[in-house]
A and B are shown apart, each in its own frame.
Chain A
């Protein structure tokens, strides 16, 4: 039985929320003409957990375990920004050692996230072995994180004023071993992938985004840097002692997929450089600024006033946010992660808006 060929109708295909190979939940309604994609409508919201609404009812310390779940591939960045926002609000200084530890953790997290980008990227192109290699490297990073923070992925490590616990004895040597091993690993990826003619043919010239379009669409991070703009938040507004290390912003001019690939591989190399420098120069000293754990000193009113704070028992230390608003940002591996925090004179923020990267 032969069916009439109707080549004029466009076919609408639903690529449902679940995907194999770690793409996350994203529903795409794709309009196809033969094999060319004409129109694509993404439907989001499958992973909406109400994080912003929850934040309005939690103190910062209570909220920290939630934030690692925003971006579970690069967890330290979410924690860094959750802790940076109140620190900027109240002008809290953190000790140098804490800043260096944070930088090391953030750069390790950046490497982990770029590795997990590389795996599904190659799997989409058809090469399925790098997917296993990256998990081997990521496993080493997990082990380092577990030694320092206690959890492999969802570490609750950063605190307002520093980090929760100091690095254990011998962690720095293990970290340097990892850096040496990983530099050799990156060379292996270069040999396997970058010079591969099949890879180049599929990736060069594909998906071109010009610089102006990238800025207009609000891209940030490696996608912006691959289109010719040297915009890296670690250099543009330096935070967390990044200006004490010697490293370069990775960027490319072309704006196609190959450029984005090269930017991310280059960023992994720069992260290793930063980690090696930070580990050499790490100072001693305290790792947490414990002064921040006090209540803001307020004059207590008269005993028969409406506002009298009757302290029945000693309350646990809490951090009060003043009535100001502020927008802080970090350079997460996917782009610019920002928090717009509107404080109330209370423990809970009035509005906690997360500006997602990418």
Chain B
């Protein structure tokens, strides 16, 4: 039964007394959880051992202009020949002035470029990432382009429009 299965991760975490907040499911019914940055290391390993072996995508965004930053991970379990794979979406929030989140590169290798892109665009620095450099912008760029309060330098038409 689908309604009983969704929410199982939240129940499991409550049973093991991990402080987390279960956000509402997103529009397709995928369970979304919010995890603290301090717990993210251990929970990532737990999820990997459970079987979520594929990071589908990792993105970062800022929740409100001037607010906190969120790093979102979509995890799936890829197996031989299944229909309707299990998926889960984890959000890790961090504050804006010194955003640091543990990296999951050593668990899922595909987080390499994706975390570099989150670092480049939004500014979340990931601890234990082997080469956290800017990936899309030139290496000497200042500023985090995808934040809502970013002002594009030398782009006077947009600045006038604001």
Q: What is the CA–CA distance of A176 and B136 in the complex, to the nearest angstrom?
A: 43
> Of the candidates B83, B109, B138, B145, which one forms a contact with A216 in the assembled complex, judged by CB atoms under 8 Å apart?
B109
**A231 CB contacts on chain B under 8 angstroms:** 78
> Of the candidates B82, B84, B138, B146, which one forms a contact with A45 in the assembled complex, judged by CB atoms under 8 Å apart?
B138
> Of the candidates B26, B74, B78, B146, which one forms a contact with A324 in the assembled complex, judged by CB atoms under 8 Å apart?
B26
**Structural contact, A340 and B74, CB atoms closer than 8 A:** yes
**A336 CB contacts on chain B under 8 angstroms:** 56
**Structural contact, B145 and A350, CB atoms closer than 8 A:** no
**A235 CB contacts on chain B under 8 angstroms:** 83
B55 within 8 A of A: yes
**A181 CB contacts on chain B under 8 angstroms:** none
A191 within 8 A of B: no
Proximity string of chain B (99-133) to chain A, C-beta cutoff 8 Å, 1 when within and 0 when not: 00000000011110110000001000000000000
Q: What's the nearest-Cβ distance from chain A to residue B104, in Å? A: 11
Q: Which of these binds chain B: A13-21, A47-55, A71-79, A285-293? A: A47-55
A237 within 8 A of B: yes
B156 within 8 A of A: no
**Structural contact, B110 and A327, CB atoms closer than 8 A:** no
Total number of residue pairs linking A and B with CB closer than 8 Å: 84
**Structural contact, B135 and A45, CB atoms closer than 8 A:** yes
Number of residues of chain A lying within 8 A (CB) of chain B: 35
Q: What is the CA–CA distance of A224 and B78 in the complex, to the nearest angstrom?
A: 10
Q: What is the CA–CA distance of A165 and B106 in the complex, to the nearest angstrom?
A: 49
**Structural contact, B78 and A216, CB atoms closer than 8 A:** no
**Structural contact, A215 and B74, CB atoms closer than 8 A:** no
Closest residue to B57 on the A side, CB-wise?
Answer: A355
Given contacts A217-B110, A230-B80, is CB(A351)–CB(B59) below 8 Å?
yes
**A329 CB contacts on chain B under 8 angstroms:** 56
B89 within 8 A of A: yes
Q: What's the nearest-Cβ distance from chain B to residue A184, in Å? A: 33
A88 within 8 A of B: yes
Number of residues of chain B lying within 8 A (CB) of chain A: 35
**B137 CB contacts on chain A under 8 angstroms:** 45, 48
A89 within 8 A of B: yes
**B146 CB contacts on chain A under 8 angstroms:** 52-53
B30 within 8 A of A: yes
A30 within 8 A of B: no
Closest residue to A336 on the B side, CB-wise?
Answer: B56
**Structural contact, A338 and B27, CB atoms closer than 8 A:** no
**B26 CB contacts on chain A under 8 angstroms:** 324-327
**B136 CB contacts on chain A under 8 angstroms:** 44-45, 48
Closest residue to B158 on the A side, CB-wise?
Answer: A57
Q: What is the CA–CA distance of A324 and B27 in the complex, to the nearest angstrom?
A: 6
A1 within 8 A of B: no
B6 within 8 A of A: no
B10 within 8 A of A: no
**Structural contact, A327 and B138, CB atoms closer than 8 A:** no
Q: What is the CA–CA distance of A111 and B147 in the complex, to the nearest angstrom?
A: 38
B26, B53, B57, B134 pick with most chain A CB within 10 angstroms: B57
**Structural contact, A340 and B83, CB atoms closer than 8 A:** no
Q: What is the CA–CA distance of A213 and B55 in the complex, to the nearest angstrom?
A: 13
A224, A324, A327, A350 pick with most chain B CB within 10 angstroms: A327
Q: What's the nearest-Cβ distance from chain A to residue B58, in Å? A: 9
B153 within 8 A of A: no
A215, A217, A230 pick with most chain B CB within 10 angstroms: A215
Interface residues of A (CB under 8 A from B): 44-45, 48, 50, 52-53, 88-89, 212-213, 215-219, 224, 229-231, 235-237, 324-327, 329, 336, 338, 340, 342, 350-351, 353, 355
List the 7 closest A-B pairs by CB distance, nearest first: A218-B110, A355-B57, A353-B59, A351-B61, A45-B136, A48-B136, A326-B27
Interface residues of B (CB under 8 A from A): 26-28, 30, 53-57, 59, 61, 72, 74, 78, 80-85, 89, 108-111, 113-114, 121, 134-138, 145-146
